[in-house]
Amino acid sequence: MQIIERTRVFNGHYKVNQLIVQDGDAQLKREQFAPGKAVAALVYDTAQQVYVLTRQFRIGPEAEILEIAAGMIDQGEAPETAVRREIHEELGYEVDKLEEIVCIWPSPGTSSEEITVYYAEVSRKTGAGGGLAEENEHIEMVELRWEVLVAEPLRDAKTVIAVQWVQVRR
């Protein structure tokens, strides 16, 4: 299969492309959700010995969900810079240690979104967290001990991956 044409058919908060895909003699039209590149991090506060996650309303499930800190990479920004920025905006922490876990396509059948998932250790809270008012973010910070975190019914893929990554290494 080969993409022979790409047209932006929606250019709002999110982007949607229409692709023409050559498959042998057939040409197929497919829509592609194109939100961009993102970062996410499972944050561990080494001073308090708790994992710090977020709870916020998400459009996809139309509900508040528990998930790791995450956000989009700005144009020209390095993923490591973006994840440090997001951790500070959402949780108020400065990062002491950062380790990349994996770079994933969470839904490759329909989306070009790519998320780089990290594990971050923190010990210094220098901001309020909670997200940015100008981005209409209303983020609740949730601190959980390991035993409570692994008992949570997690449904967000990047969060499940990060928690399982830690679980394998404990």
Could you list the pLDDT tens digit for every one of the 170 residues in the chain?
999 999 999 999 889 999 999 999 999 999 999 999 999 999 999 999 999 999 999 999 999 999 999 999 999 999 999 999 999 999 999 999 999 999 999 999 999 999 999 999 999 999 888 777 677 678 999 999 999 999 999 999 999 999 999 999 98
Look at residues 143, 156, 135 and name the one whose alpha carbon lies nearest to residue 43.
Answer: 143
- Residue 81 in tokens: 């810079």
Q: What is the 3-state secondary structure (H, E, C) of 41-52?
A: EEEEECCCCEEE
Strands 37-45 and 114-125: parallel
The whole-angstrom separation of Cα 3 and Cα 153 is 39
pTM of the model: 0.93
The whole-angstrom separation of Cα 36 and Cα 51 is 27
Q: Which CATH class is domain 35-169?
A: alpha beta
Question: What pLDDT shows up at residue 137?
Answer: 74
- The domain limits of the chain are 2-32, 35-169
Work out whether the CA dihedral 131, 133, 134, 139 comes out positive or negative: positive
